[in-house]
Amino acid sequence: MNNLVLYDKSPFDLIESLFNNEDWLMPSFRTPAIDVYEEGDKYTIEADLPGLTEKDIKLEVRNGQLILSTAKREKSEDKSKKGRWIRRERREYQFQRSFTLPEEVDPEKIEAHFKNGVLQVVLPKKPEAAPKSIEVKIN
């Protein structure tokens, strides 16, 4: 019972705050869906990043880790709009995720492509780590 807090304002103030306080429900970060798969001589990471551009995405290799981070801020409010925001969830977006690179990945040959809101990062394996097919000859 010690956790109860006395709310000494009108309950209507609380309802009004739902419409006026833009940050009460939506955090400024979200975790995008990410898939990682292996295909022969490479690994591929795909991340859904809708609403972002190439400028919003940062990808770096540091200390054996691939670090994907994003940050986007909406431009300042458009002063020509006469109304008021009732709900605004798209103002800010930030995210960071790290992946430990397997030893067989060649960090110098990592490539990234961004198209239609999907980031695709290709992590080629070093030639000695790639699977090899050996043809068996029968005499």
State the DSSP string of 27-64.
-SB----EEEEEETTEEEEEEE-TT--GGGEEEEEETT
Beta bridge partners of 125: 105
Per-residue pLDDT of the chain (139 residues; tens, 9 = 90+): 445 555 566 666 666 666 665 555 554 456 788 999 999 899 999 999 888 889 999 999 999 999 999 887 766 566 666 787 777 666 677 888 999 999 999 999 999 999 999 999 999 998 876 667 778 888 7
> Can you give the residue range of the structural domain that contains 112?
28-74+87-128
Does some domain include residue 3? no
4: amino acid identity, one letter: L
pLDDT of residue 128: 78
Count of structural domains within the chain: 1
In the DSSP assignment, the letter for residue 105 is B
Residue 133 near residue 74 (C-beta atoms within 8 A): no
pLDDT of residue 61: 94
Does some domain include residue 113? yes
Does some domain include residue 70? yes
List the CATH number of the domain containing 45.
Answer: 2.60.40.790
pTM: 0.65
pLDDT of residue 62: 92
Does some domain include residue 65? yes
pLDDT of residue 28: 46
